[in-house]
Amino acid sequence: MTMTLTTTTTATPVTPSRGALRPLGLDEVQITGGFWAERQAVNGAASLAHIEHWMEREGWIGNFDAAAAGTLDGHRGGREFSDSEVYKLLEAMAWEIGRTGDAALEARFRALVDRVAAAQEPDGYLNTNFGRPGQRPRYSDLEWGHELYCYGHLFQAAVARARTRPDADGGLLALARRAADHVVATFGPGGIASVCGHAEIEPALAELGRATGDRRYVDQAALFVERRGTGTLADIDLGREYYQDDVPVREATVLRGHAVRANYLAAGAVDVAVETEDAGLLDALTTQWENTVARRTYVTGGQGSHHEGESFGDDYELPPDRAYSETCAGIGSVMFSWRLLLAQGLPRYADLVERTLYNVVATSPSAEGTAFYYTNTLHQRRPGTVPPADVASPRASSSLRAPWFAVSCCPPNVARTLASLAAYVATTDDDGLQLHQYAPARIRTALADGRRVDLDVETAYPRDGVVRVTVATTEDRPWTLTLRVPAWAQGATLVTPEGTQEAAPGTVQVHRRFAAGDVVELRLPTAPRVSAADPRIDAVRGCVVVERGPEVLCVESVDLGADVGDARLDLAAGLRDVDGRVLATVVTRTADERAWPYGSGGEHPLGGGSEVQLIPYHDWANRGPSTMRVWIPLA
């Protein structure tokens, strides 16, 4: 099936040729203040330089110089996938330059591209870890070599650059196309009939196809998606499930195995399904999303409950204290959900994006933007130790944010996501504009038929639930403004020029002949609320979680003045919201000291209940070592 590929130039990560919604670019939407603008500012001012510094220091960038100089051998620094981290940094820089026009960053970006480009081989191959004397041959270890995975991040960087600086991309797109042509020649029909152990090239090739109009890249992505699950990779100790090579994508019913791999693959498979109009594949992916959300997702939106294999567990196996919930898996989930949202337009996808952004992505970086969580536990049982400031942490599961990891996929992944975050705020379709995420924003775009629509959004969200949308410019024809009402927002109301109405969870539409200066105000309830888990989630039986708006809250020992293991929530005493601070009545109890912990012992109150502040989960561990829990046992 050969189909026309619509080439799009929107400055946004994903531009499907068809689907329910059209994404907007960074030139069309800017986040102008509030929660996310603060994080974007820290990301641009501190994180990007921090990440570049560590990549230089660890020699990951230097590997490209050595490759160009011909001095690389079998003992280069960094893990087998370290090239990809440099590409993710390039992507983050590209979005940041697109967002801010930062000239100094532009110079750093160009210098870095030049160093990468110098390492590319004449046939387009580019990887500092394979193919040289002393190194293993190219593509000799598809299971663990990550060569195609690295290309994937290279392509995404090139697409980001091409869409934000189409006139002067610095040669990155041409470099990526040479590599992509090499991939198509090597892994296309008649070539190596296998896939990469870590999915990522699938969505990247699809997007490179969309960015360049070159259909071959989409076809290659489709080939990779179809091959996955047919057992072309080795049956490793972790099982083929680890890299989703156990079941063909269109036959799978739930995400499984390595949670980042699973989400990246699903994201790429949506791209392929959309571009090839493969309704069966899209249905399978929708089912996978539904089952994964209903059975294998933490209340934070985090995914992956096993440290071993960084993988999904069984259905309903979601232990808070061994939550792996890798930051990158959260980002992968945002990628997957966003593509389904563009394809189908359903607000449930934006709900999960929001939950994951606030409670996984925002949790990873420290307030200063120079330390990160790789995993995001929901229950910290013992106060962690502060990781060394000047040494990469060897382990992903450090209990406090670390400046760097030997496997440092998460920091640049957070950076590229924050820099491009405006892309997830709004979309358009033939009839109007949809607001998916709420932040102070400036939106200047046009509907599909060319009608200009300019909006300004003002809100103190998530601290406050009032979202005020002012029409800045509009033409004198009716169109529809669609606002997402999050699933948690029972009792929301909408105020339009016509009056006030109830706004049930889902979406609410305002169809009218707008005039400049019109205001639509969505009022979302942000009183703290209590949720219990599906009883099949055994690990949190007898516990509840407190949430406020899109934020999951937690109790931290710093506020409790005791270990969180002793905290019991007194629900009857209610919750209070005092100027955005959520106060709960917590009774501290202590268990009998027992030589054998099973039998008829009990626990005793340490004192009467007292009001304790519950803080947003994303803010925890910013005040030194502590214990913390999201799920609090009932008194």
Give the binding site for its own copies (CB under 8 A).
235-239, 290, 293-295, 297, 299, 306-308, 313-317, 319-322, 348, 351, 379, 381-382, 394-395, 406, 487, 531-539, 541-543, 545, 565, 589, 591-603, 633
DSSP string, 158-169: HHHHHHHSTT--
Q: Are 432 and 479 in contact (CB under 8 A)?
A: yes
Of the pair 99, 379, the CB lying nearest its own copies is at 379
Work out how close the CB of 57 gets to its own copies at its nearest, in angstroms, rounded to a whole number.
19
Which residue of the set 91, 96, 310, 458 is catalytic? 310
Helix (H, G, I), strand (E, B) or coil at 632: strand
DSSP 593: P
- Integer-rounded Cα Rg, in Å, for the chain is 24
Q: Please provide the size of the chain in residues.
A: 635
Helix (H, G, I), strand (E, B) or coil at 496: strand
Rounded CA-CA distance 473/514 in Å is: 9
> Between β-strands 628-629 and 632-633, what pairing exists: parallel, antiparallel or unpaired?
unpaired
Of the pair 102, 317, the CB lying nearest its own copies is at 317
> Between β-strands 551-556 and 628-629, what pairing exists: parallel, antiparallel or unpaired?
antiparallel
Going by C-beta distance under 8 Å and a sequence separation of 6 or more, which residues neighbour residue 294? none
Rounded CA-CA distance 325/373 in Å is: 10
Q: Are 404 and 55 in contact (CB under 8 A)?
A: no
User: Tokens in use for 318?
Assistant: 């979601």
Nearest to 196 by CA among 242, 250, 136, 255: 242
Helix (H, G, I), strand (E, B) or coil at 263: helix
Work out how close the CB of 296 gets to its own copies at its nearest, in angstroms, rounded to a whole number.
9
Rounded CA-CA distance 457/468 in Å is: 6
Work out how close the CB of 350 gets to its own copies at its nearest, in angstroms, rounded to a whole number.
13
Work out how close the CB of 579 gets to its own copies at its nearest, in angstroms, rounded to a whole number.
26
Which residue of the set 150, 196, 409, 554 is catalytic? 409
Rounded CA-CA distance 342/333 in Å is: 14
Nearest to 31 by CA among 426, 384, 348: 426
Going by C-beta distance under 8 Å and a sequence separation of 6 or more, which residues neighbour residue 314? none
Work out how close the CB of 397 gets to its own copies at its nearest, in angstroms, rounded to a whole number.
8
Rounded CA-CA distance 514/186 in Å is: 54
Work out how close the CB of 358 gets to its own copies at its nearest, in angstroms, rounded to a whole number.
15
Strands (E), 282-439: 379-380, 426-429, 432-435
Of the pair 359, 428, the CB lying nearest its own copies is at 359
Work out how close the CB of 85 gets to its own copies at its nearest, in angstroms, rounded to a whole number.
18
AA letter at 291: N
Work out how close the CB of 288 gets to its own copies at its nearest, in angstroms, rounded to a whole number.
14
Rounded CA-CA distance 128/74 in Å is: 10
Work out how close the CB of 507 gets to its own copies at its nearest, in angstroms, rounded to a whole number.
16
Of the pair 235, 498, the CB lying nearest its own copies is at 235
296: left (phi over 0), alpha (psi -120 to 50) or beta: alpha
* Dihedral (Cα; 326, 441, 30, 27), 10-degree rounding: 120
Is 409 among the residues known to form the active site?
yes
Work out how close the CB of 279 gets to its own copies at its nearest, in angstroms, rounded to a whole number.
22
Q: How far apart are the first and last CA of the chain?
A: 62
Is 328 among the residues known to form the active site?
no
User: Tokens in use for 347?
Assistant: 């607000």
DSSP string, 272-310: HHHHTT-HHHHHHHHHHHHHHHHHSB-TTS-B--BTGGG
Of the pair 132, 295, the CB lying nearest its own copies is at 295
Work out how close the CB of 501 gets to its own copies at its nearest, in angstroms, rounded to a whole number.
24
DSSP 386: P
Rounded CA-CA distance 527/410 in Å is: 32
Of the pair 419, 614, the CB lying nearest its own copies is at 614
Of the pair 448, 591, the CB lying nearest its own copies is at 591
Of the pair 258, 348, the CB lying nearest its own copies is at 348
Of the pair 43, 311, the CB lying nearest its own copies is at 311
Of the pair 579, 593, the CB lying nearest its own copies is at 593
Q: Positive or negative CA dihedral for 226, 228, 233, 234?
A: negative
Of the pair 203, 462, the CB lying nearest its own copies is at 462
DSSP string, 437-468: S-SSEEEEEE-TTS-EEEEEEEE-TTTS-EEE
Active site residues: 310, 409
